[in-house]
Structure 1
């Protein structure tokens, strides 16, 4: 998979509110088993597993088997792509707000 596809996968993976909640839950814990994650949603284990698979494909989640249990953990490094993208627009809007403040101050003088 090339870098462009990886970026699209990360953006698509976090587009869904359920997957964002899964990421938040995993960020708050070192590792969680599937049954504990499923308990946080009004959906079945299969549906939660499908969301986790999308996150895993995007490189945001890792899993390991412990006996019959599957445990998931967050791998946040791919989120750096989103942070970099957002930071450009944060700078863009900060500059615009400073310019607006200057214009408003000039109008008041």
Structure 2
């Protein structure tokens, strides 16, 4: 049974990975029971392209298509999304708990407002040392500007 749920989650997240499919689901969320042509109307994609997206959504169990005469209507189904939300909520709870513990740790710790005196002196020495190295890296200044010959 667990393997089936993993496969369902894989199909659900794979179907949700495409922005066009998410937009199709959003349209069905606003107005359930749209025909395929009504659903496809705002998209700059061919009807066969929309049908392929609807096939993926159907395979994932996110929509159901019902044919009445020559019209095919699409409706949302909730079960795969519920499973995905349960999976996401488990990890949201995990991260929420860990971040709460981190926040409590940071808030209970007393942090010094200024570094200890030795740290200030060491930082000043490092700045001075880097300045002296930067000067030597540029090379010596020439006494004569470029292009002029020294007078003899």
Is TM > 0.5 for Structure 1 vs Structure 2? yes
Q: Deviations over 1:68-90 (max 9, x none)?
A: 11111101211112111111111
3-state SS of the aligned residue for 2:109?
helix
Residues 99, 76 of structure 1: alpha-carbon distance in 2 compared, 3 angstrom cutoff: same
Aligned counterparts of 1:25 and 1:60: Cα–Cα separation in 2: 13
Quick one: higher RCO (CA 8 Å, sep 6+), 1 or 2? 1
Q: CA deviation at 1:6?
A: 2.6
- Tell me how large the CA RMSD over aligned residues is: 1.6
* Structural mapping, 1:14-25, within 5 Å: 14-25=16-27
* Structural mapping, 1:47-66, within 5 Å: 47-66=49-68
For residue 88 of structure 1, what is the aligned residue in structure 2? Answer: 90
Q: CA deviation at 1:66?
A: 2.3
Aligned counterparts of 2:95 and 2:7: Cα–Cα separation in 1: 28
3-state SS of the aligned residue for 2:93?
helix
Aligned counterparts of 1:31 and 1:108: Cα–Cα separation in 2: 59
State which structure, 1 or 2, has the greater radius of gyration over its C-alpha atoms.
Answer: 2
3-state SS of the aligned residue for 2:65?
strand
Per the normalisation by structure 1, the TM-score is 0.88
Structure 1 runs not aligned, ≥5 long: none
1:39 aligns with 2:35: no
